[in-house]
Amino acid sequence: MAIKIDSKIIDYEVAKPESASDTQGQQAAAAEANIEHMHEKLERPEMLEGSTYKIKTPLSEHALYVTINDVVLNPGTEHEIRRPFEIFINSKNMDHFQWIVALTRIVSAVFRKGGDCTFLVEELRSVFDPRGGYFKRGGKFMPSLVAEIGDVIDQHLKKIGMLETDTLDEHQKAFIEQKRAEAEGREPQDQTAADCDDSTDAYPEGAQLCGKCHTKAMVVMDGCLTCLNCGDSKCG
C-alpha cells in the first residue's frame, strides 16, 4: 500500500533484517519476562506444601512445632523452584506466645519479600539467652531457643536447595569414624550403622565443645584436639 508523504524528508535510514542473535535475544527476554519470581505481592495459593520440625528443649516440658510452608514457582518448567512462603510455631507452652507470634510474622514477611532470605539463619543463631544455652540431642550446643529456630530454618533451606548441605565426603567420614573408634576404644563401625545411631550420648564422655559446628565432640587425638562431628582440628 502506497503512503503519501506530505512533509519534507530530512533524513533516511535503510532498514536491516533482524539477525538470528537479535531474534534469540528477544526470545530470551520474553522468556525471562514470563518467569515468576518471589515477591511480596504474590498471592497465596489455596494449598501449600511444607514440613514440620519438632523442637524439644530442657527449658520447657512442652515441645515446639515449627511448620514452614513453601510455594512452588514456575511449576512444570525448567525454571521450577521452591521457596519458603510462611512459618508457624505452635506449642502448649504459652509463656513465649507474644514474641513467637511476632517472630513468625516477621520471618514470613521476609520470606514473601523475595530475594535472599538465608541471612535469617545466622541472625537467629547469633541470639544468646542471658540465662545460658543448652545442649540438644546429639551434643550440639544451642545458645538460645531462638537460635534453635534458626537452626530449623537452616535445615529447611538446605532441604529445598536454597543452602548447600555441609556434608563430608566418604574419606572424611571414614577418618572421623576411625578417630572416634580410637577415642572410645572400639572397632570402627560401618558408616551406615553410624548414621543410624541416635543415642543421646553421641560422642565420648568428656568431649569439649567445637567452635565450628557447636557440637560437644572435640577430643584429644594424637596430642591434638579433633572434632568427631565435623573433622575440625586445632592442628589444621
Q: What was the pLDDT predicted at 60?
A: 85
Q: How many CA atoms lie within 13 A of 76 on its CB side?
A: 0
Per the CB < 8 A criterion, the answer to whether 149 and 103 are in contact is yes
Q: Looking at residue 136, what is its pLDDT?
A: 84
Give first-to-last CA distance, the chain, whole Å: 81
| Whole-number pLDDT of residue 194 | 45
Instruction: Give 207: exposed, middle or buried? Use CB within 10 Å, 0-12, 13-18, 19+.
Output: buried
Q: What residues are paired with 88 via a beta bridge?
A: 67
Q: What pLDDT was estimated at residue 102?
A: 96
What gap in Å lies between CA 64 and CA 150, rounded to an integer?
A: 13
- Rounded Cα gap, residues 220 and 226, in angstroms: 6
**Please, which residues bridge with residue 64 across strands?**
55, 91
**Closest to 72 measured CA to CA, from 36, 107, 118:** 36
β-bridge mates for residue 71, sequence order: 83
Looking at per-residue pLDDT, the higher value among 95 and 100 belongs to 100
Mean pLDDT value across residues 65-79: 94
- Give the start-to-end residue ranges of the domains of the chain: 49-159, 170-227
* Tens-place pLDDT, residues 1-17: 677 777 777 777 777 77
DSSP sequence for 179-231: HHHHHHTSPPPPHHHHHT---S--S-TTPEEPTTT-BEEEEEETTEEEETTT-
Mind listing the pLDDT tens digit for each residue in 27-37? Answer: 555 555 578 88
Within 10 angstroms of residue 51's Cβ, the number of other Cβ atoms is 14
**pLDDT of 163-198, one tens digit each?**
988 766 676 667 667 766 776 665 555 544 444 444
Cα angle for residues 109, 111, 116 (degrees, 5° grid):
125
| pLDDT at res. 105 | 97
> What is the average pLDDT value for the chain, to the nearest integer?
81
202-217 confidence digits (pLDDT tens): 677 778 888 777 787 7
C-alpha cell at 154: 537452616
Percent of the chain with pLDDT over 70: 77
Q: What pLDDT sits at residue 232?
A: 78
Q: What are residue 209's phi and psi, to 5 degrees?
A: -80, 130
Model pTM?
A: 0.67
